Structure 1
Amino acid sequence: MTLLHAPDACPSRLRHLVVVLGDQLDRQSAAFDGFDPAQDRVWMAEAIEESTQVWSTQPRIAIFLAAMRHFAEALRGEGLQVDYRLLDDADNRGTLAAELAAALARMRPAALVLVQPGEWRVQEALRAVAAHAGVALDEREDRHFLCTPAAFARYAESRPQLVMEHFYRAMRKRHRVLMDGDAPAGGAWNFDTDNRGAFGRDGPGFLPQPAAFPPDATTQQVIALVRKHFAERPGRLDAFAWPVTRSEALQALDTFVAERLPLFGHWQDAMWGGEPWLYHAQLSAALNLKLLDPREVIARAEAAYRAGQVPIACAEGFIRQILGWREYVRGIYWREMPGYLARNALDAHADLPPWYWTGQTDRECLRDTIAQTLDLGYAHHIQRLMVTGLYALLLGVEPVQVHAWYLAVYVDAVEWVELPNTLGMSQFADGGLLGSKPYVASGQYIARMSDHCRHCRFRPAERTGENACPFTTLYWDFLARHAQRFAEHPRLRAQVQNLARLSDAERGAIALRADAIRRGEA
């Protein structure tokens, strides 16, 4: 089924124009509460601004457009009136705000219905359009989530310090997830110590493959469109197989729970060259597009544990990412925006290396992770945190540049989830609001958790010299540059004390090599 370019006939008296954004593809959304097909109409638009506001890669653009078009088709199949603006319509105005303003002028609805967007910039722009048009705005809560921004703000105000683990336990109790009465299932709240396995020298061995969805006619049209209009962008679309409908997303969930969740926990921090998927779920894009409800994902994981199909460590580790981290970072985002975007607690001002956009670097772990990211629009959380994110943090890259890269390259990137994870957890730019310490490590961590160092010309145990791993050199340089700040930090004090044991000559050599790395000379 192909979307019509021409809008459907408008009801003679339009009551509600219901806005559905590209990350709100949920038929159970509050936007549809009380929807009357005889009086109301859905409005959706593809705006080139959403692909140029950051330099989005081809996979990221394609997944949003394909999912949007499939959702609009499904709504029309139910008999709903949908006003849908295609990216390549000759008179497409290029921005959501301009397109919505034109729609309001043309259709003159009595009210505009909008579920809270996932980005502060979009929220403010659409509010301004409604105000300028003099149209009543009915902005509704996004009930996809299990904790509203207001509830999170109340929670935060009642605590002397925000700690994700404490929030996660409160959410477990409130929503009765993995609870045996008043006690946590399995006798503990957290099974992290069971979930840090690394593959042996022979690698992961046989790996179950994630569900893949060959592009149908609608998705093929999108792929052709992206190749035509965004040919200069990084990324490949010949292997595009992401779920872009609810039925596909449910199938992906089924496959993960049955085939990879039973081993997800133990291997969730492991990496292996040329193996992008391993035991990870690849469900975050479907969740963030709202094709999946987090409640059903959590329930499926818990049911698998209760049925004896999945160890508690695997179920708990997976559920924590959704019920804990996902809700926590959204709460941080809406509590701290718009000022959060400007945070730079470590006063980092270096530029992001240009090879982050090409993958052409002699650092093997970075080459593998970035090439995979650009090709597939995907990397798992340890690749993001402890490879690409760690290197940018140690190098001292300006946080907003790191944020722009993460928002541009990943198919699951929506600002409410990406920004706090990048600025807060990865770059420590918020000074410890989201996470209590910067995630810093030398190349030895990557050597322990992957096979990358075996194939790399750099040696992770060496701090100085031509063969020294840049991660290791920059790690010690980071400690030196921030020694005063972290000298009494309970989780970094020992690392700073190790720095003090180095001779003045070695510390000087580290600083010289770190400067050469920043200049691109090493």
Structure 2
Amino acid sequence: MVKPRLILVLGDQLSQGLSALRAGDKSRDIVVMAEVMAEGSYVRHHPQKIVLVLSAMRHFAAELQAQGWQVAYTRLDDPDNSQSIGGELLRHAAVHGATEVLATRPGEWRLIAALNDLPLTVSQHPDDRFLCSDAEFATWAKGRKQLRMEWFYRDMRRKTGLLMQGDDPAGGQWNFDHDNRKPARADLLRPRPPRFAPDAVTAAVIALVRDRFADHFGGLDGFGWATTRPEAQQALDHFITHALPRFGDEQDAMLQDDPTLSHALISPYLNIGLLGWHEVCKAAEDAWRAGRAPLNAVEGFVRQIIGWREFIRGIYFLEGPDYTTRNALGAQRALPPLFWGAKTQMACLSQAVGQTRDLAYAHHIQRLMVTGNFAMLAGVNPAEVHDWYLSVYIDAFEWVEAPNTIGMSQFADGGVVGSKPYAASGAYIDRMSDYCAGCAYRVKDKTGAKACPFNLLYWDFLLRHRDRFAKNPRMAQMYRTWDKMDATRRDTVLTEAADFLRRLDAGETV
């Protein structure tokens, strides 16, 4: 009798075309899916993220069973649950007499190593749900002095033919960023993303997560994320029809009473496998070709998918398992309690963190230019910042989160992802949001008791790292501006920045 093989399907691999499933045989193999505490708690994941993954797993397992697969599914509260992926593979291998595991390579080095360490024969198949394979990215990167997303993105456009007119980019240019950096105004008619009422499966998971993860940061009230592929497709269709036309104009804007603006909110579904990159980009392109969305919006959206998303994944696997430990700027400050909801007088941080707590969501500019910018300017240890982002966002999985945080947000990789740190004073936040109008600080004040902390920390950061950045052509002008300042003002800026950081370290409300 032929021994069965185990086919591992992880919570972010919920795709019918998964390589491990394609390699399997319904007549002999057993799909293993497991809800385990090790995955729910290696960082303190937001409860809504845990609900999304577990509910989507249960729905996907039911789909596989309906297709004729034998599924060995372990629930979190199963008394026999070993509470780790490796432990569940070993347990089911013993039950079924299996010695071989088929897996699609995980998106975290941690799990890749765990599978390699098992006393079973584990075949890790490439995760070909992405446009660019690891080997292709390594070939593209080889010999380049700098790895820049823009050049990679153009190659992906050529490869796919998306938004191309022959050999040329649609509209005569590759990038419409200059059209996509506008502030937004409150608009009661702006469509809101759809919310999906929990079915019986999701309701049971919510109750379980509320019981088991009550001490994790974030709330569960009003959970309304899609947990099945049909619901995810509805979310995509709604975005394409109602929000994509305004996406480009508003993609960098921030409004305190409108956390979603015209964003898609489909990244969780892409990252757990309910949607694929091609269907998402093709839907956007079709909308442009049909005259239902402008080119600047569609190009900006497509760039996020086949440009940034694919580039970031390539960086993660190219740079290796130690990437998350990098700390090029030597930042050592502990993550301030305000990131976990402690009171702050800074309206922008209060808004971004509060929204994250309630929704498990904040869009890319809130992450990069508010929470990320503050952490970098304040010199927070990037490993702690990385853990925080991985914990609190519903779309955060290490392959996508780590390069965005360690690289783009914190410049802790020393310039692998970006050519300069994304450092900004309060003026940027004021320009792109309505946060500053109601803040206890005054964004126009450069010094003094009411000066915006971003204004102080911006210069403090530049001066701490002058040796590294003064010769950077994209930053040299700022150092010239500093050098032209009155000496008394310079001393005041640095003194007040030091006092702010002292109060931050002391746990005072800032």
The answer on whether the counterparts of 1:250 and 1:292 sit within 8 Å (CA) in structure 2 is yes
- What residue identity is the alignment partner of 1:310? A
What is the alpha-carbon distance in structure 2 between the residues aligned to residue 107 and residue 455 of structure 1?
A: 62
The answer on whether the counterparts of 1:479 and 1:499 sit within 8 Å (CA) in structure 2 is no
Q: Which residues in structure 2 correspond to 1:376-387 (within 5 Å)?
A: 376-387=359-370
**How far 1:512 sits from its partner (Å)?**
2.2
> What is the aligned partner in structure 2 of residue 44 from structure 1?
33
**How far 1:503 sits from its partner (Å)?**
2.7
Q: Which residues in structure 2 correspond to 1:40-189 (within 5 Å)?
A: 40-129=29-118, 132=119, 135-189=120-174
Secondary structure of the 1:260 match is helix
Secondary structure of the 1:139 match is strand
**How far 1:91 sits from its partner (Å)?**
2.5
What is the alpha-carbon distance in structure 2 between the residues aligned to residue 57 and residue 288 of structure 1?
A: 16
What is the alpha-carbon distance in structure 1 between the residues aligned to residue 81 and residue 257 of structure 2?
A: 40
Q: Which of 172, 176, 181 is the aligned partner of 1:191?
A: 176
Residue-by-residue CA offset, 1:239-294 (whole Å, 9 max, x unaligned) = 11111111111110000000000110011000000211110000000000010010
Q: Which moved more, 1:35-44 or 1:299-308?
A: 35-44
What is the alpha-carbon distance in structure 1 between the residues aligned to residue 204 and residue 52 of structure 2?
A: 12
What is the alpha-carbon distance in structure 2 between the residues aligned to residue 160 and residue 330 of structure 1?
A: 19
What is the alpha-carbon distance in structure 2 between the residues aligned to residue 359 and residue 151 of structure 1?
A: 45
User: 1:34 and 1:334, CA in 2 relative to 1: closer, same or farther beyond 3 A?
Assistant: closer
User: 1:420 and 1:374, CA in 2 relative to 1: closer, same or farther beyond 3 A?
Assistant: same
Q: Which moved more, 1:159-168 or 1:384-393?
A: 159-168
What is the alpha-carbon distance in structure 1 between the residues aligned to residue 200 and residue 4 of structure 2?
A: 34
What is the alpha-carbon distance in structure 1 between the residues aligned to residue 92 and residue 491 of structure 2?
A: 63
**How far 1:205 sits from its partner (Å)?**
4.2
The answer on whether the counterparts of 1:92 and 1:99 sit within 8 Å (CA) in structure 2 is yes
What is the alpha-carbon distance in structure 1 between the residues aligned to residue 447 and residue 312 of structure 2?
A: 37
The answer on whether the counterparts of 1:13 and 1:109 sit within 8 Å (CA) in structure 2 is no
Residue-by-residue CA offset, 1:320-354 (whole Å, 9 max, x unaligned) = 00000000000000011212111111111111101
- What residue identity is the alignment partner of 2:31? V
> What is the aligned partner in structure 1 of residue 445 from structure 2?
462
> What is the aligned partner in structure 1 of residue 6 from structure 2?
17
What is the alpha-carbon distance in structure 2 between the residues aligned to residue 412 and residue 477 of structure 1?
A: 33
- What residue identity is the alignment partner of 1:181? G
Residue-by-residue CA offset, 1:112-158 (whole Å, 9 max, x unaligned) = 100010101011101111xx2xx322211111100011110111004
Aligned residue pairs, count = 505
Q: Which of 322, 331, 338 is the aligned partner of 2:314?
A: 331
Q: Which of 394, 399, 402 is the aligned partner of 1:411?
A: 394
> What is the aligned partner in structure 2 of residue 476 from structure 1?
459
Residue-by-residue CA offset, 1:299-340 (whole Å, 9 max, x unaligned) = 111111111111110000000000000000000000112121
Moved over 4 A (4+): none
- What residue identity is the alignment partner of 1:176? G
RMSD, aligned α-carbons: 1.3
Secondary structure of the 1:238 match is coil
What is the alpha-carbon distance in structure 1 between the residues aligned to residue 151 and residue 489 of structure 2?
A: 41
- What residue identity is the alignment partner of 1:144? R
> What is the aligned partner in structure 1 of residue 248 from structure 2?
265
Q: Which of 306, 310, 315 is the aligned partner of 2:293?
A: 310
- What residue identity is the alignment partner of 2:128? R
**How far 1:507 sits from its partner (Å)?**
2.2
Q: Which moved more, 1:57-66 or 1:291-300?
A: 57-66
Secondary structure of the 2:32 match is strand
Secondary structure of the 2:184 match is coil
Percent identity between the two aligned chains: 49
What is the alpha-carbon distance in structure 1 between the residues aligned to residue 146 and residue 348 of structure 2?
A: 35
What is the alpha-carbon distance in structure 2 between the residues aligned to residue 34 and residue 475 of structure 1?
A: 53
The answer on whether the counterparts of 1:274 and 1:368 sit within 8 Å (CA) in structure 2 is no
Secondary structure of the 2:52 match is helix
**How far 1:208 sits from its partner (Å)?**
0.1
What is the alpha-carbon distance in structure 2 between the residues aligned to residue 253 and residue 489 of structure 1?
A: 41
**How far 1:159 sits from its partner (Å)?**
2.3
* Structure 1 position 237 matched with structure 2 position 226: no
User: 1:359 and 1:183, CA in 2 relative to 1: closer, same or farther beyond 3 A?
Assistant: farther
What is the alpha-carbon distance in structure 1 between the residues aligned to residue 478 and residue 114 of structure 2?
A: 46
**How far 1:177 sits from its partner (Å)?**
1.2
> What is the aligned partner in structure 1 of residue 480 from structure 2?
497
What is the alpha-carbon distance in structure 2 between the residues aligned to residue 69 and residue 466 of structure 1?
A: 54
Q: Which residues in structure 2 correspond to 1:206-221 (within 5 Å)?
A: 206-221=189-204
The two structures have a TM-score, normalised by structure 1, of: 0.95
What is the alpha-carbon distance in structure 2 between the residues aligned to residue 479 and residue 36 of structure 1?
A: 58
What is the alpha-carbon distance in structure 2 between the residues aligned to residue 28 and residue 192 of structure 1?
A: 34
What is the alpha-carbon distance in structure 1 between the residues aligned to residue 172 and residue 342 of structure 2?
A: 44
What is the alpha-carbon distance in structure 2 between the residues aligned to residue 62 and residue 112 of structure 1?
A: 27
The two structures have a TM-score, normalised by structure 2, of: 0.97
**How far 1:215 sits from its partner (Å)?**
0.4
What is the alpha-carbon distance in structure 1 between the residues aligned to residue 342 and residue 279 of structure 2?
A: 37
The answer on whether the counterparts of 2:130 and 2:277 sit within 8 Å (CA) in structure 1 is yes
**How far 1:104 sits from its partner (Å)?**
2.0
**How far 1:49 sits from its partner (Å)?**
1.2
**How far 1:513 sits from its partner (Å)?**
1.9
Query: Unaligned 5+ residue runs, structure 2?
Result: none
The answer on whether the counterparts of 2:389 and 2:396 sit within 8 Å (CA) in structure 1 is yes
**How far 1:34 sits from its partner (Å)?**
4.4
What is the alpha-carbon distance in structure 1 between the residues aligned to residue 305 and residue 3 of structure 2?
A: 38
The answer on whether the counterparts of 2:115 and 2:122 sit within 8 Å (CA) in structure 1 is no
Query: Unaligned 5+ residue runs, structure 1?
Result: 1-11
The answer on whether the counterparts of 1:273 and 1:451 sit within 8 Å (CA) in structure 2 is yes
- What residue identity is the alignment partner of 1:46? E
**How far 1:359 sits from its partner (Å)?**
5.1
Secondary structure of the 1:143 match is coil
The answer on whether the counterparts of 1:390 and 1:440 sit within 8 Å (CA) in structure 2 is yes
